[in-house]
Amino acid sequence: MIKVNELIGLIKAYNPKTNYQLITQAYQYSKNMHRGQLRRSGEPYFMHPVSVAALLTEQRLDDATIITALLHDTLEDTKSTYNEVEKIFGPEIVGLVEGVTNLTNLQLNSSQTKQAENFRKLFMAMSKDLRVILVKLADRLHNMRTIKHMSPEKQQKKSIETMDVFAPLAGRIGMHWMREELEDLAFRVLNPKARASIIRRFITLQKQTGRVVPKITEDIKFELEKANITSEVFGRAKKPYSVWRKMEEKKQGFSQLSDIYGFRIITISEDDCYRTLGAIHQRWRSVPGRFKDYISQPKSNGYRSIHTTVSGRDGTQVEVQIRTRQMHDVAETGVAAHWSYRDGMRVNNPFTIDPSTWVSNMNDRIGHPEDHEEFLEHVQLEMYTDQVFCFSPKGEVIKLPRGATPLDFAYAIHTRIGNSCVGANVNGLRVPLWTRLRNGQSVTIITAGNQKPQPTWNDIVVTGRAKSAIRRSLREEHKDSFIKLGRELVRSAFEHIGKRSTEKALTIAAKELNLKDVSNLLELVGSTDLSSKDVVNAIYPDLVKKSGIEPLDPMRAVIGLPSGVHVKRSRCCLPVPPERIVGIKHKGDGVFVHSIDCGALMELEEHPNRWVDVHWDTGKHSATNTVTLNITIGNDSGVLGRICSLIGEQRANISDLHFIDRKPDYFRILVDVDVSDFEHLHGIMIAIEADTDVAALERHRDIALKPYLN
């Protein structure tokens, strides 16, 4: 375990003016609070916070961040209190400790709604003080380094969360070394065989080619000395996960991969960076399309460097990164460089990004989505994607995620420009709106006053800002029709339980569902973001249960079952009485009932021992058998509401509705309807098919869903 004088020595190495008395006090306080606690490895728990603190000294961070690391588990895991920490260490530190504690309690891989809400809290914490995230990342890194002591289930869970959230977050704030290590540690757990295979191939390659990295390093040093350029040169093989990801992305084997070795050249000045690039390209042939100048076009987190790939010794392709010492400091610690110290003074690095500005820009790119799914989608887009840089006609640089289109470019300029976009010129040539933009292209957006966003645009754009603006505009455009449809769906659902959907009832339902008003509730129901059953259930849960919306016990509906065996309708065909049926045994799950003509049964022809002869018990059915209808209707005002009314008139309940295809001239929807039997279903389908705006209607069956009905 690191002793207090050793920790202070690490801090004094870059900050001789550190408040070592306060560091010592925090060390002893945390040690006392965690006394008697053990990690799963059997070691004293206190070694974890002190190790996290030591990790942060490698980034030369300030005293407050180091103390926060020492105390970061005290509020959650010990008898320590907020008031006590504030009294001893002050409001700044207790605020940081509380922030880390709150992040520890977030379940970032939980259900989608909860996950999105927790991501919101994550970004809120970042906006208050980014040092909270720096401590949390160091905490996760140390936990991943010691993960072998956890149970296999917990190792899997933590590794997935690390790969999905913390590694990309580290990369997003510029801490690429941490991202690489977190990814590789998670990769070791999630795919140990693949990682071991790549390491074996590296060993084999080294035997075949010799010590490539030292040889190429000496070659680069020789060329730079010849050009009178003072520099430092470092080389290494890329991490196993980085190599595996390249193999997956390019669909190539290990032997086909290029640039599995990387080299970094650190120079004195920016001029030397470009002189170095010239010397490298004079000595070795550059690989076309593999040059990026992040010095003239820095990344949003302050990253600056020149990247080039060349054919090195014996034709081996290697990536070379060229930067100055100040650029390197930012490249190593990203936004964290804002708090870095050197020789007792806060580093005055011209390339450091103000964290508050960076978080503000991040939040602007995410926009203000109105639902959990959108927010989650936007966060993942922003954290996982690299960037391209394009130019406006005025020479302004627009930064976009890789894969962005002219529509994304238009929305990045202004929502009004995006909404009215009708076309685009890229480098002077007219291109389709779905064209993928590349680095350095000049983009001119063509607009028209009467243009409005189209539903198909959602499939074209990739940025969260564009998606949010398009969906918001479409919602506004169709708001009245959604409200009208929602009112019809809710009316039908209320009538099904013998109640009326009065304004008072809807107001209460909106309040129970935490919605702002009745219009908002009806709009969400009409746009299928909220089910009418959920609205009714918010007020009359007992009546919903009695009404038959809850599944009928199949034991009373099917005859021919062995004693004590449970039966369920199979999702692939959703049979209804009195259709001919057959039962299929499933180990541990009872018997699943299929229609006799279900396509899923073909796979079971060679297993007659699993078949059970069953039939419906006529007369013992209520409207509890859900079937799915695939309906294609004209995209005209009132059509969907009319279809829902027709279903309601047949005394059937709509339990769910999904848009699966939205086009300017038609909609295709899947409607889940609760029916009593086939005659009931037949009557509903005749009523729907008779409507002039219904282009196609069929009973939806999907053998891919076999065999379960959830």
Active site amino acids: 76-77
Phi, psi of 397 (to 5 degrees): -90, 125
CB proximity list for 693: less than 8 A, separation 6 or greater: 633, 634, 636, 639, 642
Among residues 80, 78, 82, the alpha carbon closest in space to that of 90 is found at: 82
Whether a cis peptide bond, with omega within 30° of 0, leads into 455 is: no
Among residues 103, 201, 95, 181, the alpha carbon closest in space to that of 141 is found at: 181
Between helices 372-384 and 355-366, what is the axis angle to 10°?
130
What does the alpha-carbon distance between residue 214 and residue 124 come to, in Å, rounded to a whole number?
45
Among residues 441, 439, 409, the alpha carbon closest in space to that of 423 is found at: 409
CB proximity list for 188: less than 8 A, separation 6 or greater: 195
What does the alpha-carbon distance between residue 55 and residue 37 come to, in Å, rounded to a whole number?
22
| CA torsion, ordered 551, 555, 559, 565, to nearest 10 deg | 130
Whether the Cβ atoms of residue 424 and residue 446 lie closer than 8 Å to each other:
yes
Whether the Cβ atoms of residue 252 and residue 244 lie closer than 8 Å to each other:
no
What does the alpha-carbon distance between residue 262 and residue 260 come to, in Å, rounded to a whole number?
7
Give the H/E segment covering residue 647.
helix 639-649
What does the alpha-carbon distance between residue 508 and residue 521 come to, in Å, rounded to a whole number?
11
Whether the Cβ atoms of residue 491 and residue 518 lie closer than 8 Å to each other:
no
Between helices 4-12 and 47-57, what is the axis angle to 10°?
10
Q: Which two tokens stand for residue 601?
A: 């049964």
Question: CA angle 212-182-6, nearest 5°?
Answer: 90
Question: CA angle 275-276-280, nearest 5°?
Answer: 120
Amino acid identity of 5? N
